[in-house]
Structure 1
């Protein structure tokens, strides 16, 4: 690494490690090869996964930034390291669904693949101890995680991201089925997109493949024991690289 010195580990999650650096306004994020599902009840090491997710996320963050969406992203260093601004992450998972899939189809009488127009936006309490539960209006108000105005800003930003990603992915033959976002506030109070945007956090279907299993190019391949996880992530990276210049190396 160059331009900074790596400091102590601040946080380790299922897919990433976050390190302090010798610069107060800079954090280093290492993307891990570990794959998890079902609240980490299912685990595996998939060689190369971290590097793929790091590169995909970096390119998507750069695309969003060029389109006017603020993010915590500053650049990459090597294959699996991303440099970011420190943010106070809001303990909410923002999930936007363009087509019905996954848990939604288990909780509602709606078939997989049914278009949702307008896209459905759901909020979940980000806390593994409580299994990231869905938040009703009353529960969200009770937790007081965001003010009414902050919630409006959060949802507007998430929908802006969805619009941009839908267009991007459609242009490379992929359907953005649904995805989750994490957002946070910078030291000066700016709301930004944080964490990662990758096949770990998005459902992506190949628009040219009809088979319901073969079209999957995301973490569902791991969840459903379909195999070919690294190959699927690699295909996503190849297509994204074809239309987004970068990523930028942090200097």
Structure 2
């Protein structure tokens, strides 16, 4: 189980074959790696599932390998449904254990188990960036000149990159870490780093084009992958308002809206999370959450309603189909500008 979706296993993966199952999307959400937050956002799960299916089917048309099988228990194409789905049918790859021993993660053990499986999850997140929004972590890790920009400092506005930037971070560690090429290559295992980059760029191009057709700017996002039959396949879910950041008429349309809202209404919790992660690193422990003494507050009901409309209206606009009874996307976006 993850913080926003659950697994339904139909057939376990084996040493000879991939398994089959479904992601069941909930209305829960997570920010700052906290896990399940106090409030669900109505309709959010169906929004993520619908956008994800739409993007997987676009990738399928473009010839990009994925683990997608369809939507719902019968693994149907999205076009066969009249209501937005909440379940994404997928092939299941093996997820090896990643031991944490003496303050370090044992990737040799992870890949030893992976070699015995028909297919396994690549323990990386592949991040692509087209712009650098104000909330982007890239600002704290790189100077503008490092990514081809003729600027001394990061301005307090979105910056468009001359070329997309692809980065790698850990997937299964309690605290995500961005990696240099050598460490990313080691952690990737049998999957080729160049192939992972190539697939990420294909996904980025497709989502960027789809977003532009609907009036969005695709700022950044990530993919996760499985390695099976000697090839990299796009896995998890792709191109949603949780995995990616989009803007519409200059306003963020993604989970970033909630993240920035919490920075404004609960800075003491955001700071406590940061302190707990730092302390966990210093003490060599994997789970930082027990070290955080502050709990996140619940959201105001009006905020939840506006965010729910943003997800629903945004999905309608992105897919070009009125799956949800929601305001026009421009109205929904305007409603979250002051959050």
Offset at residue 98 of structure 1 (A) = 0.1
Q: Evaluate the alpha carbon distance shift between residue 52 and residue 241 of structure 1 in structure 2; reply closer, same or farther with a 3 A threshold.
A: same
> What is the distance in 2 between the residues matched to 1:73 and 1:193?
8
> What is the distance in 1 between the residues matched to 2:36 and 2:86?
23
1:95 corresponds in structure 2 to 127
Q: Aligned to 1:122, what secondary structure does the other structure show?
A: strand
1:178 corresponds in structure 2 to 220
- Which of 194, 207, 228 aligns to 1:165? It is 207
- Which of 59, 66, 89 aligns to 1:83? It is 89
Give the structure-1-normalised TM-score. Answer: 0.82
Offset at residue 218 of structure 1 (A) = 0.5
Query: Aligned pair 1:139/2:180, yes or no?
Result: no
Q: Aligned to 2:92, what secondary structure does the other structure show?
A: coil
Query: Aligned pair 1:224/2:260, yes or no?
Result: yes
Contact 1:91-1:127 at 8 Å conserved across structures: yes
> What is the distance in 2 between the residues matched to 1:164 and 1:65?
11
Unaligned runs of 5+ in 2: 14-18, 73-83, 94-119, 143-152, 263-302, 322-339
Looking at secondary structure, tell me which structure has more strand per residue: 1
Q: How many residues align?
A: 224
Structure number with larger C-alpha Rg? 2
Deviates more, 1:215-224 or 1:109-118: 109-118
1:68 corresponds in structure 2 to 63
Q: Aligned to 1:216, what secondary structure does the other structure show?
A: strand
- Which of 224, 232, 235 aligns to 1:194? It is 235
Offset at residue 225 of structure 1 (A) = 2.0
The one-character-per-residue Cα deviations of 1:124-172 (angstroms, maximum 9, x if unpaired) are 011242x11010123324x44235x711111101101111111111111
1:246 corresponds in structure 2 to none
Contact 1:39-1:128 at 8 Å conserved across structures: no
Contact 1:73-1:85 at 8 Å conserved across structures: yes
Offset at residue 182 of structure 1 (A) = 0.4
Q: Evaluate the alpha carbon distance shift between residue 239 and residue 139 of structure 1 in structure 2; reply closer, same or farther with a 3 A threshold.
A: same
CA RMSD of aligned residues (A): 2.3
Looking at secondary structure, tell me which structure has more helix per residue: 2
Deviates more, 1:116-125 or 1:102-111: 102-111
> What is the distance in 2 between the residues matched to 1:73 and 1:138?
30
Contact 2:66-2:235 at 8 Å conserved across structures: yes
Matches within 5 A, 1:46-57: 46-57=41-52
Unaligned runs of 5+ in 1: 1-11, 244-251
Contact 2:169-2:179 at 8 Å conserved across structures: yes
Contact 2:3-2:36 at 8 Å conserved across structures: no
Query: Aligned pair 1:113/2:155, yes or no?
Result: no
